[in-house]
Structure 1
Amino acid sequence: MIDDSLMLGFTAPLRVADGGLLMVEEQTVSGLRAWREHFGHVSAYAISAEGASPQGWAAVDPKALADEGIEIVPLPNTYDRKINREHGSEVSARLLGLMQKTRYHTFGYGGWIGDPGEIAAATARRHGIAHAVWFDRVESQVIRSTADSSLTGRAKSAIKAAIVERNERRAVRGADLSLLHGATVFNHFKNIARNPHLVEDVHFTDADRLTPDLLDAKITATAQGPLRILYVGRAAPMKGPFDWLKILAGLKANGVDFTARWVGDGELLDEMRNFASQNGLSGDDLHLEGFVSDRDTVRQFYRDAHVQLFCHLTDESPRNLIESLHSATPLVGYSDPFASGLVGEKDGGLLVQRGSTTDLIEALSGLARDRSKLADLIARAGASAAHLTRDNVFRHRSEIIRSQMPPARKTA
């Protein structure tokens, strides 16, 4: 066993490129390096999927990462039923081998059949190996939110969600430690998990925070011009994109002068474009940017916005809310424990009951009229979440893993 070593499972799949290079989501690479700052060695696994790499993925050289003390282990795509049937036992054995050579073990968790986090957690339970599971959303709720309107679609989603919910509950009950990102996810699992801990996740650093002089300039600039509305995230059902667009249509019907920008790709982006066109939202009102890979460009979008409007429909703890506060952009959206905790720190936003699009139309209309209130919210947002930086949150999680992870309950 390698002393002070961490075995880590992450949920974003890999792609194997020509020449042995691996295509990995850029933020995943950032996270692996952040973990390596706190552990002597990191062994990370994920499934290897076929097809072209999505935007925002980078080619990494496994040998170069190994020189940094980071090992990436590609696994067969066990979400594929045939592959899972034929190679599931081999994957379990390989994961067991990784556990036996590392000191600490934490698994990103999805919960569906063939999910590598589920395979790893089941293997660890079977062999009495101490481990943690990591959740940043409630996957069973996400599945329910993506059901189509047909009777067959709803039935399939209900069955799949029930299986995932059962697996989620078994995972947090069986894990020695549950790392639960954000208050919303923590509250969902805290009474089920054996050892729940509230943690946060963000990749912004102190250098990404809006400086005092830029904050002053942003506050001054709110006195005039259209209300600038932003959302950064995937165009997926759980994000409530059509609630978001309904709110914009309501603002336009009220005569509010605004510009809105959605930054992020996803399966609903084309439907969003159609909905916007059908509801009178033009290119002057709305920009659906799709995926933007440049980190500095995304950060500037945050900084330019007056508010981040969000309409999350399921229990999750998205880091885009923290990133918004780093840019002194208030949070305006649906209330849940995670958002409420961030807003409650300095009153850096306005929250309404989930689904209350009318209340959000009224709130944003009010901010467009009352620029002094908007300026105050921006100042409060700029004073929020100072403790939530990449260095702090990874240090906190590492300390919890070390203090809460017992040795194996029996020899594997």
Structure 2
Amino acid sequence: MSGLDLAGKPGDESAVAGGLMAHLLMLAPAPVIRLKGGRLRLDVKYVEGMRAHDALWDGAVSAVVWEGAGAVPFGADYAPEDLGFDLTVLPAGALVPVAGADLIAAPADMAGVLALAGGPVPVVFVVEYTIGTRLRIVALDRDRGLLRKGWSALWNLAVEARRRAAFRRAAGVQCNGYPAFDAYAGLNARTMLYLDGRMRTAMMATPQEMASRAAHCGPLRLVHSGRLEPMKGAQDLVPVARGLVARGVDFTLDVFGTGALEAELRAGAEGLGGRLRLHDPVDFETVLVPWMRGNADLFLSCHRQADPSCTYLESLGCGVPVLGYANEMWGRMAAESGGGWAVPLGDRGALVERIVQLAGRREAVTAAARSGLAFAQGHGFETEFARRMAHFAACLPPQRTVV
């Protein structure tokens, strides 16, 4: 393990598992739907991530997902032979086929895989939600009554005890985001921090785009993207927009996404004189990223949860600074990256006030855009994935490592 800082900084060790020739089995709760003709509907981000894992691992990589999803919102249809990696689709609840694997990468969100820790095949758990985040998600669920929320909270607390015990027995733990790392780093000596995102180096904002944005002097162009759900804070978008209108700010707010609150946002947008514009979900790489690089000044995030939303890093990579609530993830990233501002959690008025200030200080927006882009460039898709694969290699049992 020499050269790899398991607290999250790359050392001198190679970024790939060169020469290991070990079989890495990757489990995921990724949604999948079987289609006619043997084709599969899969989440695009999941497929892209698996292809990156396969490219960076010098050995066999296979993946397992389970049926049961009713829909794949951000998905595409694939022929299994075109995926570029070996995928097994199992019925919901089926046991994990671990035979032949040298190392298992398992999501700690799946309670059923926690029992793999300490078994015949070493396991590296990947985690992003803390127990605090899980409980806040339960509290925000509008579809559950008080009794169901109470039962769910107790169930989450029980699973959390199992999760922490499994981390202690695991070969390693990978923490996506600062909150998870802070919560779990003390449980396993091989714990690493990484920042998940889809922004490859070639996708990031160019100097010409940064200069064009800095020269823009029209309405402040706000943008928001993601699922329009209570846990993502989408219910705050219309009130913030109304607050800006009341303060006389010249702005536009483009919202990309869909979800349970879409109708609520569309109704609210009708009274905003065309300033709030809703768009259907679009392809991330070919549509959303180019649009943000050329048409946005500031990303408005109303996310209350501490989960490591990749939107933060991806927005910074587009050269667009972020204004959001000071949850445990964005509050820390805002301070470390210099790529935006964090206001008290749930304080819509503070969001409005900061936008009012920034509308009159475009140079501050430009400075944050530059700092945020530099931070994102240091945590690009290729870099973070390479570090993760090196960590997997370091977690292999001694007989599988190269002397």
Whole-Å Cα distance in 2 between the matches of residues 193 and 236 of structure 1?
34
* Distance of aligned partners of 1:405 and 1:126 in 2 relative to their CA distance in 1, 3 Å threshold: closer
**Alignment correspondent of 2:60:** 41
Residues 46, 264 of structure 1: alpha-carbon distance in 2 compared, 3 angstrom cutoff: same
Partner of 2:384: 393
Residues 212 and 198 (structure 1), Cα distance of their counterparts in 2 relative to 1, 3 Å cut = same
Aligned pairs for 1:301-312 within 5 A: 301-303=291-293, 304-312=295-303
Query: Residue in 2 aligned with 1:84?
Result: none
Q: For 1:74 and 1:60, how far apart are their aligned partners in 2? A: 13
- 2:321 is aligned to 330
Query: What residue number does 1:114 align with?
Result: none
From the superposition, tell whether residues 125 and 185 of structure 1 become closer, same or farther in structure 2 (CA, over 3 Å): closer
Q: Which stretch shows the higher mean deviation, 268-277 or 100-109?
A: 268-277
Does the 8 A contact of 1:55 with 1:293 survive in 2?
no
Structure-2 separation of matches of 1:176 and 1:140: 24
Give 3-state SS (helix, strand or coil) of 2:377's partner. Answer: coil
Q: CA deviation at 1:134?
A: 1.0
Counterparts of 2:372 and 2:69, CA distance in 1? 42
1:364 aligned partner: 355
> Given the superposition, is the C-alpha separation of residues 257 and 190 from structure 1 closer, same or farther in structure 2, using an over 3 Å criterion?
same
Residue of structure 2 aligned with 1:355, choices 335, 343, 346: 346
AA matched with 1:332 = L
Give 1:238's aligned amino acid: M
> Who is 2:33 aligned against?
15
Cα deviation for residue 56 of structure 1 reads: 3.3
1:133 maps onto 2:125 in alignment? yes
In structure 1, runs of 5+ residues without a counterpart are: 79-90, 111-116
Partner of 1:71: 86
> Cα distance 1:126–1:191, how it changes in 2: closer, same or farther (>3 A)?
closer
Q: 2:220 — aligned with what? A: 227
- Which SS does the other structure have where 1:255 is aligned? coil
Structure 1 counterpart of 2:218, one-letter code: G
Structure 2 vs 1, CA of residues 173 and 214 (structure 1 numbering), >3 Å: closer, same or farther?
A: same
1:239 aligns with 2:232: yes
Q: CA deviation at 1:77?
A: 2.0
| Contact residue 144 and residue 161 of structure 1 kept, 8 A | no
Task: Check 1:257–1:315 CA distance in 2 against 1; reply closer, same or farther (3 A cut).
Answer: same
- AA paired with 1:136? E
Q: Shift in Å at residue 243 of structure 1? A: 2.5
SS in 2 for 1:383: helix
Answering whether residue 281 of structure 2 is matched by residue 287 of structure 1, we say: no
Select between 206-215 and 152-161 the one with higher mean Cα deviation.
152-161
Give the 5 Å matches for 1:86-165: 91-92=94-95, 95=96, 97=97, 99-110=98-109, 117-122=110-115, 124-125=116-117, 127-138=119-130, 140-141=134-135, 142-148=137-143, 150-165=145-160
Amino acid at match of 1:15: I
CA distance 1:315–1:172, change in 2 (3 Å): farther
Question: Where does residue 367 of structure 2 map in the other structure?
Answer: 376
Q: Give the Cα separation in 2 of the matches to 1:188 and 1:370.
A: 37
1:85 counterpart residue number: none
Kindly tell me: are residues 234 and 204 of structure 1, through their superposed partners in 2, closer, same or farther at Cα, counting changes over 3 Å? Answer: same
Query: Distance in 2 between the 1:157 and 1:273 partners?
Result: 31
The answer as to whether partners of 1:181 and 1:198 remain within 8 angstroms in 2 is: yes
Partner of 1:29: 47
Contact 1:137–1:316 (8 Å) recurs in 2: yes
SS of the aligned residue for 2:329 comes to helix
* Residues 308 and 324 in structure 1, CA contact (< 8 A), matched pair in contact too: yes
CA distance in 1, matches of 2:166, 2:275: 45
Give the whole-Å Cα distance in 2 for the aligned partners of 1:338 and 1:140.
14
Q: How many residues align?
A: 375
Task: State the match for 1:300 in structure 2.
Answer: 290
Q: Which runs of 5+ in 2 are unaligned?
A: 1-19
- Aligned partner of 1:257 in structure 2 is 250
SS of the counterpart of 2:379? coil
CA contact (8 A) 1:145 1:314 kept: no
Would the aligned equivalents of 1:346 and 1:384 in 2 still touch at CA under 8 Å?
yes
| Aligned mates of 2:104, 2:398 — CA distance in 1 | 11
- AA aligned to 2:23 is S
TM-aligned CA distance change 1:50 to 1:356, over 3 Å: closer
Provide closer, same or farther for how the CA distance between residues 269 and 105 of structure 1 changes in structure 2, counting only shifts above 3 A: same
Aligned-pair distance for 1:238?
Answer: 1.8
Contact map agreement 1:342 1:384 (CA 8 A) in 2? no
Amino acid at match of 1:12: A
**Which TM-score applies when normalising by structure 1?**
0.83
CA distance in 1, matches of 2:203, 2:280: 22
Matches of 1:239 and 1:355, distance apart in 2: 11
